[in-house]
Amino acid sequence: MNPLLNAKGLSHSFETTLYTDINLCIYEGESVAIMGVSGSGKSTLLNNLSTLLPPKSGQVGLLGNDDIYALSAKEQLLLRRLHIGIVFQAHYLFRGFSGIENLKVASILSNEPIDKNLLESFNIAHVINQPIGQLSGGQQQRLSIARVLTKNPKIIFADEPTGNLDKQTAMYVMEVLFAYVRAHKAALLLATHDKDIASSCDRIYHLYDRALYEIQA
């Protein structure tokens, strides 16, 4: 089986070196967690892997493309729009729009319908017509994740996706994400500080001392 993600020899640095020689493969149906202290490079690694930031060295194979950074900017944009879901720590919703208008943007760009069952699952169906500014932080985060899933992505990169949610809601939202991955034979890579969420994934890695170590769940 070919991996959906195949990263080889990734290194990155800003003022200091964050990590060197990172190798990571993820297959369809898998959820993988990356843990590490703040500043260890988890968010940067997700950006390297998702077309957002070229690594200083190494190669990222993604969704049948041997090297995503050999693609043109237009090809990378199309890949993100149609096949990649990205959940940021900040939700990046369009604040001048209502909730449903945010979902419609994702629906139009990806040519995928809005799943009303998903809105019920995230308990946001009753607030979907309200302006973004009137939603709570937790509602905005759930809407952000629903917007990502509306695209029907093949792989999801999630950076602390439940940071604005209480523990019970966070675990429920993650169950929805895990169920999506299994049902769609997709993949999930998330950066998290939450050990309980990480332990629910198929594999756990620890980004530490400039290297990526697999640890037992």
* pLDDT at residue 1 in the model: 79
Q: Is the pLDDT of residue 37 over 80?
A: yes
Q: Is the pLDDT of residue 104 over 80?
A: yes
* pLDDT at residue 79 in the model: 95
Q: What is the mean pLDDT of residues 143-147?
A: 93
Smallest Cα–Cα separation from 53: which of 65, 37, 69, 42? 69
Q: What are the strands of the beta sheet with 203-208, ordered from one edge?
A: 84-87, 155-159, 187-191, 31-35, 203-208, 211-215
Q: What percent of the chain is predicted at pLDDT more than 90? A: 81
* pLDDT at residue 217 in the model: 60
Per the structure, the count of domains in the chain is 1
CA-based end-to-end distance of the chain: 23
Instruction: Provide the token pair at 116.
Output: 């009303």
Residue 93's identity, in one-letter code, is L
* pLDDT at residue 97 in the model: 93
Residue 86's identity, in one-letter code, is I
Q: Is the pLDDT of residue 216 over 90?
A: no
Report angle CA 46, 49, 214 to the nearest 5 degrees.
70
User: Where are the strands (E) in the chain, listed by range?
Assistant: 5-13, 17-26, 31-35, 57-62, 84-87, 155-159, 187-191, 203-208, 211-215
Residue 22, CA distances (Å) to 52, 60, 198 in order: 17, 10, 20
- The label of the residue with tokens 């899933």 reads 149
> Residue 78 belongs to what domain range?
5-215
Smallest Cα–Cα separation from 37: which of 201, 204, 191? 191
| Inter-residue contact 11 to 22 (CB < 8 Å) | yes
Cα–Cα distance for residue pair 95/98, rounded to 1 Å? 8
pLDDT in tens, 168-213: 889 998 999 999 999 999 999 999 999 999 999 999 999 999 999 9
Q: Is the pLDDT of residue 102 over 80?
A: yes
- The label of the residue with tokens 């080889």 reads 8
* pLDDT at residue 109 in the model: 87
pLDDT in tens, 69-100: 999 999 999 999 999 999 987 778 888 899 99
- Read off the CATH number of the domain in which 70 is found: 3.40.50.300
* pLDDT confidence tier of residue 163, bands split at 50, 70 and 90: confident
* pLDDT confidence tier of residue 162, bands split at 50, 70 and 90: confident
Helix (H, G, I), strand (E, B) or coil at 196: helix
